[in-house]
Chains A and B, each alone.
Chain A
């Protein structure tokens, strides 16, 4: 079972929910935790894993062998990202624009282009009190998060319960993080921004045809519009976490809800059971 925790809007409590869910489930299950928010990974601050290893995340970029190049311009012609240019008897490569598609090296008539690794981030893994922990970190100044997210996703072991912490937004990094998951848990807050961004997130989740459910964080903060929206869209509201300065203060010091207030563990287990129910019902339906 793979559950992604996403939100559209940033700062609604994704990491708080994802880490609390993992801690609540770990006593009776094998749990794997993947932090796919590689731009701003935070889950390690709450789970405090012992990092046992790390590997660089590399992408392939082209290098031109000047001895073989005839400056025919084919590489520049086929590059959709303008990452390679031929100016007279010079070939310029712009590695930060390259999407590593491999077209230039494959299509070069002289076989003058070969590919080398360029590091854009780091993958770290370890153990957090029994939880198998993996996160990715995008290097400062790098634009493309998705190759790092893909590397994190490669570590998914479906034998476990897998919890994925997703970056905010609705575009490619989010899609990459949630597309192969069984269920998307959307965390929102009852404010106009929370509602607007939840609606955008639901649009993305529906394009990917994923089942989803909502957790309302800071309940009591704003208005009732989230409940109304979820009711009209037939999206289950799985949990309310109240607006409570005690929770905010615990979070600020790096404590999950499940650790700071153990009575929440049962509630997160109940959320998981409900998700299992939704996913298995859906599997039955599609099989039929």
Chain B
């Protein structure tokens, strides 16, 4: 089985719009939306039906007022400043359980935490596994791991050989969880100073975890000088062990937003030149994915 993850470092570079089109182009694939903070892929793929599951993860401390002797030990020892006036602030509590172990009155217990929900949905483009982390919750990395695990199970059940993951922005916990063990990371960037800076960091993360990376420059014509910088950077980052392929340069085209407003993958909304370039990008990406497998 092969797993492609689409990442960017910087948010808003066009990951989800591209994955929506890949979903329409790929055959026999499972889609995984690993942006569990703000999942948007379902807005394009429009699931017809959905199975929903609870995601229990982590714990929060609870103080039984009737047992509490107000000795203050928990407040002193909590490193997350989560206990005030003998009450636990659920948002600050990291669920370490330290307080429950040290409370002399045994007044503190740990309660399981409903951190979000995950879904297996049917779409006309194939099965989609996605999730919604509860607002202000922790453990996004674990929910991402759950989405990927379920996507693999669905793929095995259906006999599919390909998983396409839409990743979250950033380089931290949910990104590492989306990336580790994937066969190829497609990095979507834009030629702004922020885009260039963030590409350098996400590429370093890919290299740190040994995942081969390919780069797509979106809206390349916004600043051709920065586009040149990115091209040079990709060349410079090439090493015998780790090749960084620049697979595509896509121009700015309002058709991307129009398609989103209509709730369609770009390549289904419009068959113009831009869509042809997405098809070419998909073919190149697939070639790299197959090559990396061997």
Contacts and interface: CB of A to CB of B under 8 A. Distances in A.
Interface of A: 8-12, 15, 39-40, 42, 45-46, 78, 80-81, 99-103, 106-107, 138, 140-145, 167-175, 179, 191-193, 196-197, 200, 203-204, 207-208, 221-223, 245, 248-249, 251-254
Contacts of A222: 257, 260-261
B244 interface: no
29 contacts: A9-B11, A9-B38, A39-B201, A42-B193, A42-B197, A45-B197, A78-B97, A78-B101, A80-B95, A101-B79, A101-B94, A106-B77, A141-B208, A141-B209, A142-B172, A167-B169, A167-B170, A168-B169, A169-B170, A171-B133, A171-B136, A171-B174, A173-B172, A175-B136, A179-B91, A196-B43, A204-B135, A249-B223, A252-B190
Contact of B172 (A39, A175, A223, A249): A39
B181 interface: no
A40 B261 contact: no
B205 A141 contact: yes
Given A10-B11, A45-B193, 8 more contacts: A11-B169, A78-B101, A140-B201, A168-B11, A174-B37, A208-B91, A252-B223, A253-B226
A226 to B, nearest CB: 12
Contacts of B175: 39
User: Interface size for chain B: under 10, 10 to 19, 20 to 34, or 35 or more residues?
Assistant: 35 or more
A101 B91 CA distance: 16
Contacts of A8: 37-38
Nearest to B262: A192
For A39, A80, A99, the residue with the greatest tally of chain B CB atoms inside 10 Å of its CB is A39
Nearest to A107: B101
Contacts of A245: 222, 252
Nearest to A100: B79
Interface in B76-105: 77, 79-80, 91, 94-98, 101-102
